[in-house]
Amino acid sequence: MTTTQMPTAPDPQGRANPGSSRFLGWRMVVIAIVAGSLTGPGQTVGVSVFINSFIADLGLSRDQVSLAYLIGTLAGATAMPAVGQFVDRRGVRTAMLAVSALFGVALFNMSLVQNWIWLVLGFVFIRMLGQGSLSMISTITVAVWFDRLRGRAMGIVGIGVSAGIALTPIAMNALINRFGWRQAWVIAAVVVPAVLVPLAWFALVSRPAHVGQLPDGDTAPDDRDTPTGVVWGYSRGEAMLHPAFWLIVSVTTLTSMLVTGLNFHAIDLLVQNGLTEDEAARMFLPQIIGASATGLGLGWVVDRTSGRFLPALSMALLGTSHLLASFLDSTLLVVVYALSLGVTAGGARVVSGTLVPKWFGTAHVGSINGVLTLMGVAGSALGPITLSLTKGWLGSYAQAALLLACLPILAAALALMVRPPSQPRTSIV
Q: Is residue 140 part of a domain?
A: yes
Q: Are 308 and 420 in contact (CB under 8 A)?
A: yes
Structural domains counted in the chain: 1
Mean pLDDT of the chain: 84
User: What percentage of the chain reaches a pLDDT higher than 90?
Assistant: 38
Give the pLDDT score at 230: 64
Q: Is residue 4 part of a domain?
A: no
Q: Are 315 and 323 in contact (CB under 8 A)?
A: no
Q: Is residue 422 part of a domain?
A: no
- Mean pLDDT for 368-391 is 85
In 3D space, the residue among 92, 74, 90 whose CA is nearest the CA of residue 144 turns out to be: 92
Q: Which amino acid is at 21?
A: S
Stretch among 171-180, 202-211, 277-286, 385-394 having the lowest mean pLDDT? 277-286
Q: Is residue 248 part of a domain?
A: yes
pTM confidence score: 0.75
Q: Is residue 219 part of a domain?
A: no
Q: Is residue 1 part of a domain?
A: no
Q: Is residue 175 part of a domain?
A: yes
Task: Write out pLDDT tens, residues 65-97.
Answer: 888 988 998 898 889 899 989 998 899 999 999
Question: Any idea what the CATH number is for the domain that residue 314 is in?
Answer: 1.20.1250.20
Distances (CA, A) of 37 to 70, 164, 307, 337: 23, 4, 26, 22
Q: Is residue 60 part of a domain?
A: yes
Task: Write out pLDDT tens, residues 270-319.
Answer: 878 777 777 776 777 787 778 777 777 777 777 787 788 889 999 999 99
Domain of residue 409, residue span: 11-214+233-416
